[in-house]
Amino acid sequence: MSQVANETNPAHAQIQADITSNDVVLFMKGTKSMPQCGFSSRVAGVLNYMGVEFKDVNVLADEAVRQGIKDFSDWPTIPQLYVKGEFVGGCDIITEMTLSGELDQLFETSGVAYDKEAADKIREANG
C-alpha cells in the first residue's frame, strides 16, 4: 500500500491521529481496565503498574482499526505499543524491554513519566 493510499484510509488517519496526539498509545484487545486477551493484559498491566499514562485503543471495537494497525506498523499481532509516535513492539518485546531496563530508558529519553521503583519491582519479581 502506498503512502498516498494510507492518507486516504480513515483507519490509518485515526491511528496516526492517536499516536501523534498521545505520548503513549497501546492498541490492544479490550481496554486498560478490562483487557480481553492475555498478551494485551500483560502489556497494559506493566504500563498500569509502572504508572504510565497511556491511551488504550480497543481494536475489538473497530475491525478497520484492528486490521489497519497491523498494516500501519507492518506488525502482525496485537497488542502494539507506540511511544512518542514510534512503534515499540508487541507483548514479547515489551516484556523483554521491561526486564532488561530498556523500557525505562525509552521512557526517560522520551520524557514519559513512570514509576522507577515499580519497574525495579517487576524486575526483582522476575529475576
pLDDT tens, position by position, 19-70: 999 999 999 999 999 999 999 999 999 999 999 999 999 999 999 999 999 9
- Number of domains composing the chain: 1
> Is residue 86, in this structure, part of any structural domain at all?
yes
> Is residue 40, in this structure, part of any structural domain at all?
yes
| pLDDT for the residue 5 | 42
> Is residue 83, in this structure, part of any structural domain at all?
yes
> Is residue 125, in this structure, part of any structural domain at all?
no
Tell me which residue range forms the domain holding 95: 3-120
pLDDT-based confidence at residue 7 (cuts at 50, 70, 90): low
Question: Residue 72: what residue type?
Answer: F
> Is residue 127, in this structure, part of any structural domain at all?
no
> Is residue 39, in this structure, part of any structural domain at all?
yes
> Is residue 64, in this structure, part of any structural domain at all?
yes
CATH code for the domain of 51: 3.40.30.10
**Prior bond of 76 cis (ω within 30°):** no
> Is residue 115, in this structure, part of any structural domain at all?
yes
- Residue 57 CA to residue 61 CA, distance in Å, equals 9
- Burial of 16-52, coded b for 16+ CB within 10 Å and e otherwise, reads eebbeebbbbbbbbbbbeebeeebbbbbbebbbebeb
Residue 6 has pLDDT above 50, yes or no: no
| pLDDT for the residue 1 | 37
Residue 37 annotated as part of some ligand binding site: yes
